[in-house]
Amino acid sequence: MLRDFELCCSELSEYGLTMTPEMYEKFDIYAEFLVEYNKNVNLTAITDADEIFLKHFIDSILICRYVDIPENASVIDVGTGAGFPSVPLKIFRPDIKITLLDSLNKRIVFLNQLCEKIDIQANTIHGRAEDISKMAEYREKFDFSCARAVANMSLLSELCVPFLKVGGTFISMKGPGEDISLGQNALNVLGCDKMNEINYMLGMDSRRIITAKKISHTPTKYPRNSGQIKKKPL
């Protein structure tokens, strides 16, 4: 499915990254299973192997280049869809502990099968972030909460920050266009410091990683229910 190992390694090296043959094998199985499953269940608009490698796999693992993720860190991926960014991240950094959360069960069913196929450990949860982060076992329990292409910064902050321990980091992956500064108030209210923006190119596309450190507990009234979050963004 993917181009051969050397060609993929050479593309990765343009982004300052390297991979082992074992990682390549998992990416290859992932790409093939994603395209096959996507014929019956909507998971991605990207089905060309080279594009999957660049726009899903490289994009996801670039987090490691721009954010310092310590060994054995715990990461929750909010609105993970077909596993992005956390599954490629886990292939690339097997030491991290990933939790994959999505509100659509058909995507969780796919992820469970995928994790078995590529032999990686992941905790998968079917549910809405605003409900799951109220549960004691998930609230303020993670070193990182991340999301790609889920919601605008203000909404996303309310979905992601309650999962973080104090001292943890929120990571949001975005394209150009959105005025992310509109999310700073939400971040402050939820217990985070000033956001930091990292800009980079992925092929011909400009991309951004926005991070914010959690410096105090999230007030218990957050997150609100999804209707309120959308109607009255923080």
Binding positions for ligand SAM, rule: CB under 6 A:
78-82, 84, 101-104, 107, 128-130, 148-150, 159
**Cα distance between residue 7 and residue 175, in whole Å:** 26
- CB nearer to ligand SAM: pick between 78 and 89: 78
What are the DSSP E strand ranges found in the chain?
A: 74-78, 97-102, 123-126, 142-148, 164-174, 196-202, 205-213
CB contact at 8 A, 44 and 81: yes
> Rounded to the nearest whole angstrom, what is the least distance from the CB of residue 55 to ligand SAM in the complex?
9
Cis peptide before 162 (omega within 30 of 0): no
> Rounded to the nearest whole angstrom, what is the least distance from the CB of residue 175 to ligand SAM in the complex?
11
Q: Which residues does 226 contact at the CB level (< 8 Å), separation at least 6?
A: 128, 130
Best CA proximity match to 73, nearest among 64, 60, 81? 64
> Rounded to the nearest whole angstrom, what is the least distance from the CB of residue 6 to ligand SAM in the complex?
27
Centroid of chain to Cα 28: 20
- CB nearer to ligand SAM: pick between 22 and 233: 233
- CB nearer to ligand SAM: pick between 146 and 212: 146
> Rounded to the nearest whole angstrom, what is the least distance from the CB of residue 80 to ligand SAM in the complex?
5
- CB nearer to ligand SAM: pick between 79 and 191: 79
> Rounded to the nearest whole angstrom, what is the least distance from the CB of residue 78 to ligand SAM in the complex?
6
3 state SS of 142: strand
For 123, the enclosing helix (H) or strand (E) is strand 123-126
- CB nearer to ligand SAM: pick between 149 and 166: 149
